Amino acid sequence: MLCALMALSASAQCRYCLSYEDFLENRWEPLDTVIAKSHSKSHQVWAGGNDFALKVPDKSINKIINKEAFAVKQGKELFVNCRKLKFNNIGFGNGYVRAMTIGEHDILFVNKRMGGSEYNQQVAAAGAMFGLVGGLAAGVAASSEMLSNPVCYIITDGAGAVDHINLNVVNDDIMDKFMAGNNDLFMEYYSMDPSQRVLAEHVLPILRKAGVITKMKL
């Protein structure tokens, strides 16, 4: 996998916060230049996810960035630490995801579609039929599907404790609020198959047309 390096310049005001509560209260700590190692641009566009590994020269601060920080900001660019995130009690793993704010409180990002009960049922069924090898194969297949079908997640008020941020997938109920009063968007959105319209590739264009987000860089 090709990788790209970029420096988040200190002149653009690099900073970090330790929790979502700190983010809401605008409590940030300053940072020197941050080096971001990412997947190739083409991979980011299609997959989203934990694309960024952030590093600073100071080892003690670097440990905070990787293990304790909730988010890093450079100018208007926002990166959220995936170590802090869980969905259906499943963690997203290490690395940072590029995100954007909606209004003053909400954070939107794109990442893999977490399996939850559907994933567990698929693995359990294969394990019952084909044993350990079948269960492992089903796990690999489900993981591949999760990576190839990213969805939009939103962090909002009441997200939870510092080390367990609660997330919501951007679904019909959330989209209804964003599309309120725009019948054309309602028709466009609900013309899609229910299993497909939750995917980021369909959600993001609707959110842009609704004026909720600008062009999101992934």
**Sequence spans of domains, the chain:** 3-113+149-209
Task: Identify the residue with better confidence: 158 or 50.
Answer: 50
What mean pLDDT do residues 27-34 have? 88
Q: Confidence band (pLDDT; 50, 70, 90) for 42?
A: very low
Query: Please, which pLDDT band fits residue 32 given cuts at 50, 70 and 90?
Result: confident
Two tokens at 114? 């977490």
> What pTM did the predictor assign?
0.76
Average of per-residue pLDDT values in the chain = 76
pLDDT at 69 over 50: yes
pLDDT band at 133 (very low <50, low <70, confident <90, very high): very low
Q: State residue 217's pLDDT score.
A: 44
Q: How far is the C-alpha of 203 from the C-alpha of 136, rounded, in Å?
A: 31
pLDDT digits (tens, 9 = 90+) for 75-89: 888 999 998 888 887
Residue 94 to residue 91: CA distance in whole angstroms: 9
Among candidate residues 51, 60, 56, 49, the one with its CA nearest the CA of residue 200: 49
Label residue 123 by pLDDT band (50, 70, 90): very low
